[in-house]
Amino acid sequence: MKKNIKKLKRIYSIFSVSFVALSLFGANKIIQRLHEKDTTIVTEETAIPQRVDYKAYLQQEEDKVWQKLETINISKEAVENLKKTSYQNYLNDNSTYKDNNQPVSKEYETMVHKILREFGIDPATITLGYWDGPSEACAGDFFMKINPVLMPKVSPETQTFMIAHEVQHILNKDHSTTYFIRNLLENPVSNSELTPDHPLMHFILFAEKRADMQAAMKSPEWAKRYLCFAQEISQLGDIDPNDTAHPGTAERVKIAQALVENSKQQIV
């Protein structure tokens, strides 16, 4: 059972690690919290059969996160302003992700570059490298790392979706947003010390949800890949029916199913 949970956590960690683990050494706590929190994502969406404006839904969710951050006097404007005036600080503080880099195989490079291009990013602007952390991949504003040991353990379709999920973090600049929010905290604790109700944790959870949904909303094919990915995680969880620690996976399948249905309606 522990092994199953461990495996599931590893797969699941892609949601958090993509940008969380970059400064994170207590990943498991975050992953657990993500999981617990994720169960609330779309419970109310699952019964919606008609076309849904998920972009508007994500915007509402983002607005809520910034309202939460306002309660500790951190505004979106302040963070955006820091990104303009102090972006070099972010680059300097994360320079190890650019400099201390080992190449990945040509196969992964080709795969990542194709997906970057599909989402409108010039691969030349992204440093791609090797990663031996607890997830299949991770990404910051200007880099992506692939774990060549863990990645082949999931299906090609799921691998593709995991990379697309990371690409959304690059597009949304989630890593630098997290960095600047943390800079504005009165007590800049690490992610592993954040309580589930901490406003920064709300941002992190939102960014993970957005990365999934944004990738899935690209096209009906991407929605199907999200479903494949979610089902793969779900199946891992189902290995042990007594494992009630990960209800989030079932919810992800529901979100993915809703997005697949939604995408069908949009092409009719």
User: What's the closest the beta carbon of residue 18 comes to Zn ion, in angstroms?
Assistant: 3
* Six-digit token string for 96: 């190890």
- Give the x/- contact pattern for Zn ion in 5-34, rule: CB under 5 A: ----------x--x----------------
Q: For Zn ion, which residue has the nearest CB?
A: 18
User: What's the closest the beta carbon of residue 223 comes to Zn ion, in angstroms?
Assistant: 18
CB nearer to Zn ion: pick between 172 and 219: 172
- Give the x/- contact pattern for Zn ion in 193-212, rule: CB under 5 A: ---------------x--x-
Q: Are 139 and 18 in contact (CB under 8 A)?
A: yes
**Three-state DSSP class for residue 138:** strand
Which amino acid would we find at residue 242?
A: N
- Residue identified by tokens 């929605």 is 223
- Any contact of residue 234 with Zn ion (CB under 5 A)? no
- Any contact of residue 262 with Zn ion (CB under 5 A)? no
Restricting to residues 39-78, name those near Zn ion by CB under 5 A.
Answer: none
Residues paired with residue 145 on neighbouring β-strands, in sequence order? 129, 138
Q: Are 35 and 10 in contact (CB under 8 A)?
A: no
Task: Give the number of residues in contact with Zn ion, rule: CB under 5 A.
Answer: 4
CB nearer to Zn ion: pick between 61 and 240: 61
CB nearer to Zn ion: pick between 70 and 165: 165
User: What's the closest the beta carbon of residue 25 comes to Zn ion, in angstroms?
Assistant: 17
Contacts 24+ apart (CB under 8 A), 125-130: 126/170, 127/97, 127/98, 127/101, 128/103, 128/104, 129/97, 129/101, 129/102, 129/103, 129/104, 130/101, 130/102, 130/103, 130/104
Distance CA 146, CA 144 (A): 7
User: What's the closest the beta carbon of residue 166 comes to Zn ion, in angstroms?
Assistant: 7
- Any contact of residue 263 with Zn ion (CB under 5 A)? no
User: What's the closest the beta carbon of residue 145 comes to Zn ion, in angstroms?
Assistant: 12
Pick the closest to residue 57 from 264, 265, 259, 223 (CA basis): 259
- CA dihedral sign, ordered 131, 132, 137, 141: negative
User: What's the closest the beta carbon of residue 73 comes to Zn ion, in angstroms?
Assistant: 27
CB nearer to Zn ion: pick between 136 and 208: 208
CB nearer to Zn ion: pick between 25 and 268: 25
* Six-digit token string for 137: 């991949």
User: What's the closest the beta carbon of residue 143 comes to Zn ion, in angstroms?
Assistant: 14
CB nearer to Zn ion: pick between 21 and 253: 21
- Any contact of residue 94 with Zn ion (CB under 5 A)? no
220 burial type by CB count under 10 A (0-12 exposed, 13-18 middle, 19+ buried): middle
CB nearer to Zn ion: pick between 78 and 181: 181
30, HSE (Cβ side, Cα atoms, 13 Å): 30
CB nearer to Zn ion: pick between 170 and 258: 170
Name the site residues for Zn ion (rule: CB under 5 A). Answer: 15, 18, 208, 211
